[in-house]
């Protein structure tokens, strides 16, 4: 029996506890809720405040449909895996305890299923890091959709890398190879692909986990993508038609946020008053400020931060630089002597967390130096801002290729090696100066700006009524509603 229309469709959304996953899932919840779907975001107790604040914020913006969004917590097994109490978010997990965090993730299956038993959702949308959830859905006879939070380009690239292992047929770590069959002749080096590909699978626990993730993906009902068709048509088609996956692209999710207050609170409280930030930007000319931010996970050493500081100053550009060092009390050894005094009026340093979407959408922003996390990349595209790409980890080197090689809306700063968010330490100040000049000045810069502005328009059209993403969302909801439950 299909959904009779009496009871709204009820979907569980369960992101892994990391900003880059929770933020887009909150937006996804708003998208489903805007279509009358009842949504329950599942999380763990310590993560409730940051989610509820974001939902409350948008409720006060007269988005009445957000009353359809609920939050439920399941216990996080900190004690069982040897994590300190309250260590329930990637942000707070010390590097040596990351394996324990992933052990805890496995143990979430039981409490998650108990919640499913109580709430009886019609469908679950779960993070790819919860491979066990395909089995959970099967137990209740409902579909599991996977949320990877990455581009179709990266989904295709990583699948083709696993299938063909082209990095095994080059003679050195820095020799280029083409990713076989991927449209667009995309070249990488072994240094740029994650260590999970390079290591011997059998000896690496994480590799085994990734295998499990992939296998569970294949058995799931399909994939929800935070992307829009016009951005990466060849890769969306390849994913569906050649790799044979069922997928819906319903993004960019972040464009569902129209109000300033909602854009300001994303992930956490901003470390700068938004009015102060906008006032600062308001004094600058159009396209004259470089925004520099490396997402929520970077672990740059002081030496790299100093190179960035020198590069920014030497470039002569206005800039906003987000540094993940909380306060002056944390120490300022990473800053060259007298730096802040010299850049007064020209540069703004935000220590901690920036209202990124609000900043990117300001007309004064002329370029974005980004680590190429997919949310940041898509936010840059949606705001029509060309990028300097500085990938660190995860699938960020693929996103760099999409931005610089395929879309031609950015230039690489020249990072050579994939690391666990520390950066490879090779980027000196003069490389920064060069890439900032390329992205801000001259004909090539103009062309890139024009291209990314056109993509930004397409992104907006995609989420409007009748746009490609909006139609996909309707089709997905209709399909889910017609399933027996």
Which C-beta is closer to ligand UDP: that of 10 or that of 128? 128
Q: Contact with ligand UDP (CB under 6 A): which of 63, 210, 322, 335?
A: 322
Binding flag, residue 296, ligand UDP (CB under 6 A): yes
Phi, psi (5° rounding) for residue 483? Answer: -75, 150
The verdict on whether 128 is a catalytic residue reads: no
Cα of first residue to Cα of last residue in the chain, in angstroms, is: 6
Size of the site for ligand UDP (CB under 6 A): 19
> Catalytic annotation on 273?
no
Question: Residues with Cβ < 8 Å from 64, sequence gap 6 or more?
Answer: none
Q: Identify which range of 170-178, 234-242, 280-288, 350-358 contacts ligand UDP by CB under 6 A.
A: 350-358
DSSP 127-164: ETT-TTHHHHHHHHT--EEEE--S-HHHHHHHHHHHHH
Residues 6+ apart with CB under 8 A from 330: 351
Alpha carbons 445 and 282: distance in angstroms, whole number: 23
Residue position matching structure tokens 């299923």: 113
Q: What is residue 86's DSSP assignment?
A: T
Choose which of 9, 11, 17, 23 interacts with ligand UDP (CB under 6 A). Answer: 23
Which of residues 266 and 325 has its CB atom nearest to ligand UDP in the complex? 266
Whole-angstrom CA distances from 443 to 291, 439, 446, 448, 449 are: 21, 10, 5, 9, 10
Mask: binding to ligand UDP, 256-285, rule CB under 6 A, as x and -? ----------xx------------------
Closest approach of ligand UDP to the CB of residue 127, in Å: 12
In the complex, residue closest to ligand UDP by CB: 20
Question: Which run of H or of E encompasses 319?
Answer: strand 318-323
User: Active site residue: 10, 27, 89, 127, which one?
Assistant: 127
Q: Which is nearer to ligand UDP, 227 or 296 (CB)?
A: 296
Q: In the range 364-393, which residues lie near ligand UDP by CB under 6 A? A: 373-376, 379
Q: Name 11's Cβ contacts closer than 8 Å, sequence gap at least 6.
A: 32, 37, 38, 39, 40, 121, 122, 123, 124, 125, 480
Among 251, 295, 347, 412, interactor with ligand UDP by CB under 6 A: 295
Among 160, 224, 281, 297, binds ligand UDP (CB under 6 A): 297
Q: Which residues pair with 389 in a beta bridge?
A: 370, 412
Which residue among 10, 19, 21, 485 is the active-site one? 21
Contact residues for ligand UDP, defined by CB under 6 A: 19-20, 23, 266-267, 293, 295-297, 322, 353-354, 356-357, 373-376, 379
> Could you list the active site residues?
21, 127
């Amino acid at each position: 029996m299909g959904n009779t229309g009496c009871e709204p469709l009820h979907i569980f959304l369960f992101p892994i506890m990391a900003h880059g996953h929770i933020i887009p899932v909150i937006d996804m919840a708003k998208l489903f809720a805007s279509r009358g779907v009842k949504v329950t975001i599942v999380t763990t107790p310590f993560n409730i405040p940051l989610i509820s604040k974001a939902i409350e914020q948008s409720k006060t913006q007269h988005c009445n449909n957000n009353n359809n969004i609920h939050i439920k917590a399941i216990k996080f097994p900190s004690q069982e895996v040897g994590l300190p109490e309250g260590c329930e978010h990637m942000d707070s997990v010390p590097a040596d305890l990351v394996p324990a965090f992933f052990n805890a993730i496995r143990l979430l299956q039981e409490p998650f299923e108990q919640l499913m038993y109580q709430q009886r959702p019609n469908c679950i949308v779960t993070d790819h890091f919860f491979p066990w959830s395909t089995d959970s859905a099967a137990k209740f006879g409902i579909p599991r959709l996977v949320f990877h939070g990455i581009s179709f380009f990266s989904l295709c690239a990583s699948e083709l890398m696993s299938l063909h292992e082209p990095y095994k047929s080059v003679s050195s770590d820095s020799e280029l190879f083409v990713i076989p069959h991927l449209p667009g002749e995309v070249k990488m080096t072994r240094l740029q692909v994650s260590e999970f590909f390079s290591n011997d699978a059998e000896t690496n626990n994480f590799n085994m986990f990734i295998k499990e993730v992939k296998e569970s993906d294949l058995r799931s009902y399909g994939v929800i993508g935070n992307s829009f068709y016009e951005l990466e048509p060849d890769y969306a088609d390849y994913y569906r038609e050649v790799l044979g996956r069922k997928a819906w692209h319903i993004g960019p999710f972040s464009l569902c946020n129209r109000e300033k207050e909602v854009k300001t609170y994303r992930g956490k409280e901003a470390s700068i008053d938004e009015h102060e930030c906008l006032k600062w930007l308001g004094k600058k000319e159009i396209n004259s400020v470089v925004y520099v931010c490396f997402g929520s996970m970077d672990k740059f050493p002081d030496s790299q931060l100093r190179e960035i500081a020198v590069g920014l100053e030497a470039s002569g550009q206005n800039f906003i630089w987000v540094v993940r060092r909380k306060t002056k009390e944390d120490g300022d050894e990473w800053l060259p002597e007298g730096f802040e005094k010299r850049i007064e009026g020209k540069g703004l340093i935000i220590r901690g967390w920036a209202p990124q979407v609000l900043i990117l959408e300001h007309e004064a922003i002329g370029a974005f130096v980004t680590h190429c996390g997919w949310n940041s990349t898509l936010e840059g595209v949606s705001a029509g801002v060309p990028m300097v790409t500085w990938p660190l980890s995860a699938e960020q080197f693929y996103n760099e290729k999409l931005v610089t090689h395929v879309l031609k809306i950015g230039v690489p700063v020249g990072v050579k090696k994939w690391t666990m968010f520390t950066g490879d330490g090779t980027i000196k100040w003069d490389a920064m100066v060069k890439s900032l000049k390329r992205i801000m000045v001259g004909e090539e810069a103009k062309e890139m700006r024009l291209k990314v502005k056109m993509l930004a328009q397409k992104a907006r059209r995609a989420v409007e009524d009748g746009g490609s993403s909006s139609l996909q969302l309707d089709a997905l909801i209709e399909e889910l509603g017609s399933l027996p439950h």
